[in-house]
Amino acid sequence: MKCNGISRKNKKTGICGTALHPHQIYCHVCGLATPALKTDLSAKENIKLSWEFHKKNYQESFSLGLLLTLAVYIPLSILVALFWHDYWHTNLILLFYIPFALIPLAMRDDYSLKNYLRTLSKLYLPYLSFILVAEIYFFLLKVICDGYLLSFMVDPVLHIVRLIMVLYGITCAFAVPFLMADKKMNPIKAIILSIKAGHETRWQQFFTLVAVAFINLIGALCLLAGLLYTLPLSYKILRRYYQKMVGFELFTSSNPTLE
């Protein structure tokens, strides 16, 4: 595959013509984007394919959706609502509950209850440590941008900065649960690798996360019964995109963004 970008260095044709690796996302000479972000690494295409697959196989993950809805998401929502104005209690609740919600990300394509419990026994504590690191990050943002625990006012624009950094942090950590499960990494190493590897797919990761949030909002509005369908679909969407990133060798040493 050769780059069709415009290059002033090539005086004969004006075309870049640089030989590209099949998994290259941008030309390293002229910077032109390859079709990757519009095809294999497209958030839109990934959601479409995941939806088609889930429609044919939703029965296999129905019991998992029921368990997560009744035992994780509903209790978590109630507790967060009750302690919303208590920062420390809210974060303590999130610390212990969110790892339960992350477990399906490590289950690959087996969404049975048996596999959930088996995966839970192996990854609950590692995922808890990841959430702890995330909460420290969010706490620092709250102190810096909101003046929390400090006796001085902060510029209101910092509230917007905080929102952006929260969304950016979540997007950067997209691959962390997968890397911790598949590569047995600790949270710090997984976060660093996720940030580096996702340098060129950052917006696609963000769009994927926004779409997943919207899908589950619709599921919750359907008297919560919709979550039985949308939750397993969400995990499949996230894992499929991670697998696309793996297929493009974004987590390997051959990826130039890791150097």
Q: Higher model confidence: residue 9 or residue 70? A: 70
Banded pLDDT at 254 (limits 50, 70, 90): low
pLDDT of 48-83, one tens digit each? 999 998 988 888 888 999 999 999 999 999 999 999
DSSP 15: B
pLDDT of 139-191, one tens digit each? 999 999 988 888 777 888 999 999 999 999 999 999 999 999 999 999 999 99
Q: Say if CB 239 and CB 50 are below 8 A apart.
A: no
Q: Which of 187, 211, 188, 208 is nearest to 125 (CA)?
A: 187
Q: How far is CA 108 from the centre of its chain?
A: 15
Q: Say if CB 75 and CB 97 are below 8 A apart.
A: yes
For the chain, what is the mean pLDDT? 89
Q: Which of 104, 123, 129 is nearest to 212 (CA)?
A: 104
Q: What pLDDT shows up at residue 252?
A: 85
Cα(16)–Cα(32) distance, rounded to whole angstroms?
A: 9
Cα(57)–Cα(240) distance, rounded to whole angstroms?
A: 15
Cα(142)–Cα(160) distance, rounded to whole angstroms?
A: 12
Q: What pLDDT shows up at residue 25?
A: 80
Res. 13: pLDDT tops 60: no
Cα(76)–Cα(55) distance, rounded to whole angstroms?
A: 27
Q: Residues 160, 166, 168, CA angle at the centre, nearest 5°?
A: 100
Banded pLDDT at 10 (limits 50, 70, 90): low
Q: Higher model confidence: residue 212 or residue 222? A: 212
Q: Say if CB 177 and CB 161 are below 8 A apart.
A: no
